[in-house]
């Protein structure tokens, strides 16, 4: 099955929405620091209000709609996943830990053998 070609059309209105969203994020930061004399409550209210408005404007843009559709598709796919039972998950975790322990021991023994071979036998550098 061939995947359809995705075409992105950026209209002037969509670009304006994205620019307004970015401007509101910047305004949120400016508001946070500009309202420092009014106290932390007004700082946070200004910051959160501007950020919330920026998110709303972004979500009505084409990019926001595409992101929302992607998130919905991702959630739908995660719901299709068949998760392992608890017993199976524990067994697989123990297999991984066992394999890591065996590999760590193997690499340590290889390192010590090579160290002994090169430094003690070939170069004669006794510790």
CB burial of residue 50 (10 Å; 0-12, 13-18, 19+): buried
Q: Which of 22, 49, 47 is nearest to 34 (CA)?
A: 47
Residues 6+ apart with CB under 8 A from 22: 54
pLDDT in tens, 65-113: 999 999 999 999 999 999 899 999 999 999 999 999 999 999 999 999 9
The pTM of the whole model exceeds 0.85: no
pLDDT in tens, 66-79: 999 999 999 999 99
Residue ranges of the domains in the chain?
1-80, 82-127
């Amino acid at each position: 099955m061939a995947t359809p070609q995705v075409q992105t059309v950026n209209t002037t209105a969509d670009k304006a929405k994205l620019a307004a969203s970015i401007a509101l994020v910047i305004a949120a930061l400016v508001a946070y620091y500009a309202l420092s004399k009014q106290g932390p409550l007004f700082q946070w209210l200004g910051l959160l209000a501007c950020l919330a408005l920026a998110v709303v404007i972004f979500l009505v843009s084409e990019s926001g709609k595409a992101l929302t559709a992607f998130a919905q598709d991702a959630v739908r796919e995660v719901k299709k996943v068949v998760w392992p039972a608890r017993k199976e998950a524990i067994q697989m975790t123990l297999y991984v830990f066992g394999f890591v322990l065996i590999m760590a021991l193997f690499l340590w023994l290889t390192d010590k053998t090579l160290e002994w071979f090169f430094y003690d036998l070939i170069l004669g550098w006794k510790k």
